[in-house]
């Protein structure tokens, strides 16, 4: 019955499942949980009305639990709005930006026409978007709205059947790397092995899928008939968990899917460690000085624990071969991941779409930190010629921490399921 008692090394990493569980459950989970309840992290601006770019699908989830409650603009602290990328389009920010650009342009020491200024701007935008691993919603769009994540928790919604299957199928079948064999879900049964980068891509997606499915099992909806009406209860569903992850009911794949969760966690953990010098400089400003101070202390505390962890994922092993081949592989990796982020606009349940978009954006931010060159982190070298300085928007920081928080909660929930299974 103890199929979820995983042990041994996490594939392609030098870290054991047991070590990571202890670190997460004892140190990281309580800290990240507390941080994510703060104003800086709880408001996320998202466009849930974007059209699915890949297929026509009108099927909307009519279930009550798929619904997302959005916030009114006036409920959001103005300092948070100022920190959003929508602020970039405001007059004040445009003024600041054009001053900075003028300085950059005058350093070129040439006679500048309007066209070359536009070309410079286009080039800069293009250059910045090259680093992105996912499509990020335009926060200035009228369809983008703030959501209070604490009021819209990720949990069982009843979203099932063809619509989610089509999403997962199109992610694994068309956007996950796999050897050319008959299509199967999960790790390949083919004899031709995938290279490290492609294996990593598959594991990242599978780990995210595992995490989403653990959350719906951990926070499952039970309806109690009180005679005069139904009352909703949210509690763990052990049978649902067992059905999804027991080798006997998951075609033997359950334990590997659980291990993939640890892999995804390790990758995002390493991204946060690598971004630590940058995050330590961030002010997490919400204009509430006590709260902001607490958040900065909480971040420092978490980063200290993460930075001293000895068995981090080693991203330098990826894209390390012949530079031309590595570049092509990285472009392919980035394009596939961008497609996965776009597929999230096809999810037919708003609550699932909200968390799907947030978690893919957070994972995209982690990939940007790990693979956009060494502009930050311990090996930081700023490329003076290109004047490229690593930057994260508030939205990227919020999604990175919330996505990591979801994985952390999933690993924590495994302990709960282990204990419930041992009692049943
Ligand atoms: P699914 O989870 O739909 O899986 C489809 C197939 O993929 C399985 O048959 C299996 O062969 C394979 N598979 C399963 N897990 C893995 C894995 N970890 N790695 C590799 N292959 C795997 N439902 C909710 O109740 N709440 C949510 O918040 C929620 N969020 C979602 C977000 C997204 C982006 C999507 C696409 C779906 C979401 N769902 C959510 C739906 C949920 O993920 C399942 O699709 C649904 O519960 C139906 O489950 P299933 O047992 O049919 O298998």
Retrieve residue 307's tokens.
């930075």
- Kindly report the protein residue whose alpha carbon is nearest to atom 45 of ligand 1: 164
Q: Is 168 annotated as a binding residue?
A: yes
Bridge partners of residue 234, in order along the sequence: 221
What is the CB-side half-sphere exposure of residue 209 using CA atoms within 13 A?
25
Inter-residue contact 199 to 12 (CB < 8 Å): yes
Inter-residue contact 407 to 204 (CB < 8 Å): no
Pocket test for ligand 1, best of 157, 168, 184, 254 (most atoms within 8 A of CB): 168
* Model pLDDT, residue 386: 45
* Model pLDDT, residue 6: 81
Q: Is 157 annotated as a binding residue?
A: yes
Other CB atoms within a 10 A radius of the CB of residue 96 amount to 12
Question: Per-residue confidence of the chain (424 residues) as pLDDT tens digits?
Answer: 567 678 788 888 888 999 999 999 999 999 999 999 999 999 999 999 999 999 887 667 767 889 999 998 888 988 888 665 444 444 454 555 555 555 555 554 445 566 665 665 555 555 556 678 888 888 888 889 999 999 999 999 999 999 999 999 999 988 887 654 433 444 545 546 778 888 999 999 999 999 999 999 999 999 888 888 888 899 999 999 999 999 999 989 999 999 999 999 999 999 999 999 989 999 999 989 999 999 999 999 999 999 999 999 999 998 888 888 888 889 999 999 999 999 999 999 999 999 999 999 999 999 999 998 765 555 555 444 444 567 889 999 999 999 999 999 999 999 999 999 988 7
According to DSSP, residue 85 is labeled: G
Residue 241 makes CB contacts below 8 A (sequence gap 6+) with 4, 214, 217, 218, 417
* Model pLDDT, residue 89: 40
- Kindly report the protein residue whose alpha carbon is nearest to atom 25 of ligand 1: 156
Torsion sign (Cα): 392, 393, 397, 402: negative
Q: Is 264 annotated as a binding residue?
A: no
329-349 burial, b if ≥16 CB within 10 A, otherwise e?
bbeebbebbbbbbbbbbbbbb
* DSSP letters spanning 14-50: S-BHHHHHHIIIIIIHHHHHHHHTSHHHHEEEEES-P
* Catalytic residue positions, numbered: 349, 352
């Amino acid at each position: 019955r103890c199929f979820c008692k995983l042990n041994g090394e996490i594939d392609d990493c030098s870290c054991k499942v047991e070590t990571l569980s202890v670190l997460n459950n004892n140190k990281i989970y309580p800290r990240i949980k507390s941080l994510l309840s703060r104003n800086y992290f709880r408001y996320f601006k998202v466009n849930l009305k974007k059209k699915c770019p890949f297929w026509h699908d009108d099927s909307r989830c009519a279930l009550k639990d798929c619904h997302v409650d959005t916030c009114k603009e006036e409920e959001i602290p103005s300092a948070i709005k100022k920190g959003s990328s929508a602020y970039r389009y405001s007059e004040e920010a445009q003024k600041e930006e054009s001053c900075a650009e003028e300085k950059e342009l005058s350093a070129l020491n040439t006679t500048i026409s309007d066209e070359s200024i536009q070309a410079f701007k286009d080039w800069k935008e293009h250059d910045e978007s090259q680093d992105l691993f996912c499509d990020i919603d335009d926060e200035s769009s009228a369809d983008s709205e703030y959501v209070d994540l604490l009021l819209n928790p990720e949990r069982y919604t009843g979203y099932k059947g063809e619509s989610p299957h089509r999403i997962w199928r199109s992610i694994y079948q068309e956007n996950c790397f796999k050897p050319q064999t008959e299509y199967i879900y999960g790790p390949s049964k083919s004899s031709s092995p995938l290279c490290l980068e492609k294996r990593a891509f598959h594991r990242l997606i599978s780990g995210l899928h595992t995490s989403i499915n653990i959350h719906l099992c951990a926070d499952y909806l039970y309806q109690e008939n009180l005679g005069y009406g139904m009352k909703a209860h949210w509690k763990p569903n052990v049978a649902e968990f067992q059905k999804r992850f027991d080798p006997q009911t998951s075609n033997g794949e359950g334990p590997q899917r659980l291990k993939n969760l640890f892999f995804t966690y390790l990758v995002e953990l390493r991204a946060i460690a690598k971004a630590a010098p940058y995050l330590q400089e961030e002010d997490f400003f919400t204009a509430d000085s006590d709260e902001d101070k607490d958040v900065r202390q909480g971040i420092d505390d978490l980063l200290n624990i993460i930075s001293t962890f000895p068995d981090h994922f080693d991203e330098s092993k990826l894209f390390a071969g012949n530079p031309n081949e590595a570049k092509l592989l990285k472009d392919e990796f980035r394009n596939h991941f961008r497609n996965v982020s776009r597929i999230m606009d096809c999810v037919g349940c708003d609550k699932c779409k909200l968390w799907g978009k947030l978690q893919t954006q957070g994972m995209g931010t982690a990939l940007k930190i790990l693979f956009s060159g060494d502009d930050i982190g311990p090996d930081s070298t700023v490329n003076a010629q290109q004047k490229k300085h690593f930057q994260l928007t508030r939205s990227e920081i919020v999604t990175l921490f919330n996505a990591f928080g979801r994985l952390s909660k999933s690993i924590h929930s495994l302990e709960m399921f282990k204990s419930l299974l041992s009692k049943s």
